[in-house]
Each structure stands twice: as structure tokens, then as C-alpha cells.
Amino acid sequence: MQEVQMTLPVGTVIQDRYVVEGLLGQGGFGAVYLVRNPNSGRKAALKELVDQSKSEHDRFMVECALLERLNHSALPEVYEVFQDSHQTFLVMEYIEGPNLEILRKQQPERRYTLDDVLPLLSPVVEAVGYLHHQIPPIIHRDFKPSNIVVPTNGDKAVLVDFGIAKEYYDDATTTAVRHCSPGYSGPEQYSSIGTDTRSDIYGIGATCYTLLTGSPPIDALHRTTNLASKKKDPLLSLNEQVPGLPRTVVEAIQQALAINTERRQKTVEEFWAQMHTASPPMPAEAEVNTDEYLASGAIPGPSIARSQRKRGGQAAGSLRILLFVVLGLVVLGGIGLSLQPYLFPRQTAPIAATKKPTMPTKFLTATNAAKGEAFTPLAVNYMGTLQDLMTNQKGNLQLVGIKQNGQVIQGDFVDSQIQGIQNFSGVLDTSKHLLFTVKLPADQKPLFFEGTIRDDGNLVGNYCQLDQASQCVGEYGIWSVTPVKK
């Protein structure tokens, strides 16, 4: 993985009023510096846009516009936005202090107690509620311990890093790739299904899970892949790891981490109220069966069941988003209809003015007679490109010798940047979405691919590297291949 280099040396003076004192952080598209105003002596965080492409510039300006209008004690204040030498900068309040990920690792057993977690997170959860009540709502989309700073001056925690925040419009989808953090992002953030305020609820639930157990929940992509293969949800039970937690807390976090967005709490306030509700401890042996819990829609606990019944009207909107994706109006694949029991609840009413895409006659459907399910047959060979968004490098990609048995697919993977031919295997669902993993040599991390079959027969989607815990890390990007004609 290629890292962004520090482009502003210590001592650099910008517009005669900001002196660079150090590097606070860096990412794929920019860097954040600690600067000081020599006149006032005030420190600030200066965020620089390194990639000057129009799309990234526009995204950066959206971030600035979002932050400038906010006013909350648990959110950093934006001082100004300006351009200098064809570079764009955002100057904001510098919150001095360690983040919760650092502080967590300093705790006994590298985790907090519930009595510590609730007051620590209260101000930032309140800030998320403040964001969600904006018109239109603002989604942070990167809630995690390392983005929560506890000021050294004794003030309450502050939620930082709005690099991927966006305004939420009810009928819009999100087409950006990999705007997420492994372990803390729901599956919808890895695809083009679309995010809404419940994506932040997943992040808050995952943060509570991490602070209480000492390790983040297993990544949503791995959970989704297991569920697609009819395997058990690998998410470890909270009460098995931390015996003695109140039942309401275990159930609230479990619901917040639902793969299906509709089965999460409706609002941040609802989740936080459940976290504060007193109840007897859940016995360690009373493990929550997460795969059945997600598939059936059975929500344990009367208060959670009541909140679930209020959401029926939102199901149609979620299906409209999914069909919108399948129609080919975006190129990045979501999670298919074989996962509908996990990602979307059953529909109670037909969706008006929505057509199912017409499949070209040259792509006839194969039928799994045993199950009565129809799967689109893949071509034997594909050729195309794979683009690493971390380094902005593009290479050639081939999927060859593909064998298909119903929903199970396998074949050979050839990438111009990887020596030799590698094997891949995965699943294809009845709505033309596919998930597969490429096994690489022992010294390289495997690759996880997600995509869809477009109506023209091309396969398109996004990918990432997987670590030993099957969480997305390091390299990520987009891919597209075309069938090779015989």
C-alpha cells in the first residue's frame, strides 16, 4: 500500500498566518497538519486536499460546507476554507488529546466497563443525533474509537474526521467506494445500495462492542459472505465475551449491528435509550443466535419489537434503492436478492413505477432444479481492468476457466500486477450479484471481490484486501471485465 507523503515540511508558512508544526494524519486523498497562527499563538488543524481531481475537490468542498454550518460542543469548529497555489485547505479547531482507541488499549484487559462507556460516548452520540436532525440530515459514516478524541483539558469527548460525511436525501443512493472503516461499517457502505442515518447506528453499535469487549466486531463483508453461503453469522456474542452485561445492552448492540438496515434502531436516540435501560444481566450461556436472528426478523425484547413495527413503511424505499442499482444506473454492485432476508425485510405492498430489468436474450438463465432458483450463467472467460484507488494504478484483469454449479462459481484469476495464476471461488445469486475471494501466495493478503452482472454481460464492482480476521484492509478499488467472445 502506498502512503501519501508529507508535502508540507515543518516550518512552512501558508498565507502568512499558519506555520506547519507537524503531521497529524494522512490518507488516500490528503493530509492533516498541526499548524499555529504566529500572531495569536492559536493552534489549529489544517486539512490539505492532495488529489486535485474534480471529484475529490468537489467532495472536499462538500465536507467544508457541512462543517461550517455546524455548532455543537462535541464537534470541532471550522475556522475557514481557502485555496493557495492551486491547493485547497480547511482550517479547523485542533482538539488536543488522545483518541478512544489509544485510551482503550491502556485499560485493564484493553477494554472499558459499561459504567465508563456510557458517559464517555454520551456527548458524541448526542452530536450524531444533532447531525441527523439537520435538514437534510448529515451522516458521519465513520464513527469509531479512533475518531473520538478526549481533550486533555478535561472537556467532554469530541467527534472528529468528517472526511466522508454527507447529506442524506431520501431517494438518493451513494455510489462512492470504500468510504468505510473495517469492523465499524455496515455492508451498505461497501456497495451502492445507499447509506442513511442507520449506517451511523451500526458504527456506534460497533464502537460500543469494541470498547466493551476489547476487539472490534468482525467485518460486515465477512459476515455477509457467510450468510450468503448459508453459514452461521461469525459475529461473536457480546455476552459470551463480557458476562454480566444487562440484557438490554446486549440486545441493543446486537440490533444496531444487524446486517439488515431496517432491523437496526430507527434513531440514535432509540439506541442510546436502550443502552441506559436497566435490566437483569444476560447469562453467558444465553448466546444470541445471530444468523437466525437476522434471517427471521425476530427481534428479542418487547421494546425492540415495538420499534421494529414502526418501520414497515420504510421497506419500500429500501427495495426501490436496490432495484435502482440493478437497473444499471450505477456501476458498483450491491448485495443481491439471495441476501434479501438479511438486508431487507419482507415487503407488505407492491412497489409502484418500478420495473425489473430485461435480461438480453443472449444471456439465458440456468435453473437449479432442486431449489427452483434461476442463476444467470457466466461466460467462461472475461477480460478487463482493475484499478487500485489507494495508488490510482490500473492493471489488466482476466477471469478465465470459470466453472459454475448453480450459485457456486470458481475459476482462475490473472492480474498484471500479480505473478502467476490464482484461484478464485465464490457465490452468485439470482439477482446477478456475485461475491468471490482470490487466494494469493502466502506472503500476500487474499482479495475479496463484490460485483454485479450488468445487462450488457459485463461484470463490475469493487474489491479489497482481507486480513487474517477476514476484514478489509490496505488495497481497495474497482474492477470491470467483459466476456471474451468465442
Catalytic residues, by residue number, are 142
CB-side neighbour CA atoms (13 Å) of 194 = 22
Quickly tell me which residue has 459499561 as its cell: 114
Please enumerate, as own/partner, the contacts of 365-373 that have beta carbons within 8 Å and a separation of 24 or more.
Answer: 366/404, 366/406, 368/406, 368/407, 371/406, 373/406, 373/407, 373/430
Quickly tell me which residue has 419482507 as its cell: 346
- Cβ distance 241 to 150 under 8 Å? no
Cell of 454: 450488468
- Cβ distance 300 to 293 under 8 Å? yes
Parallel/antiparallel/unpaired status of strands 43-49 and 87-93: antiparallel
Cell of 218: 468482525
* DSSP per residue, 373-420: EEEPPPPS-EEEEEEETTTTEEEEEEEEEEEEETTEEEEEEEETTS-S
- According to DSSP, the residues that pair with 472 across neighbouring strands are 466
Choose among 415, 461, 457: nearest CA to 440.
415
Coil vs helix vs strand at 143: coil
Q: Name 284's Cβ contacts closer than 8 Å, sequence gap at least 6.
A: 239, 240, 243
Cα-based distances in Å from 113 to 99, 108, 238, 239, 475: 17, 10, 13, 13, 35
Q: Name 136's Cβ contacts closer than 8 Å, sequence gap at least 6.
A: 167, 168, 169
Cell of 399: 477471469
What is the b/e burial string over 281-290, where b = at least 16 CB atoms within 10 angstroms of the residue's CB?
Answer: ebeeeeebeb
Output the CA angle 352-356-360, nearest 5 degrees. 155
DSSP character at residue 194: -
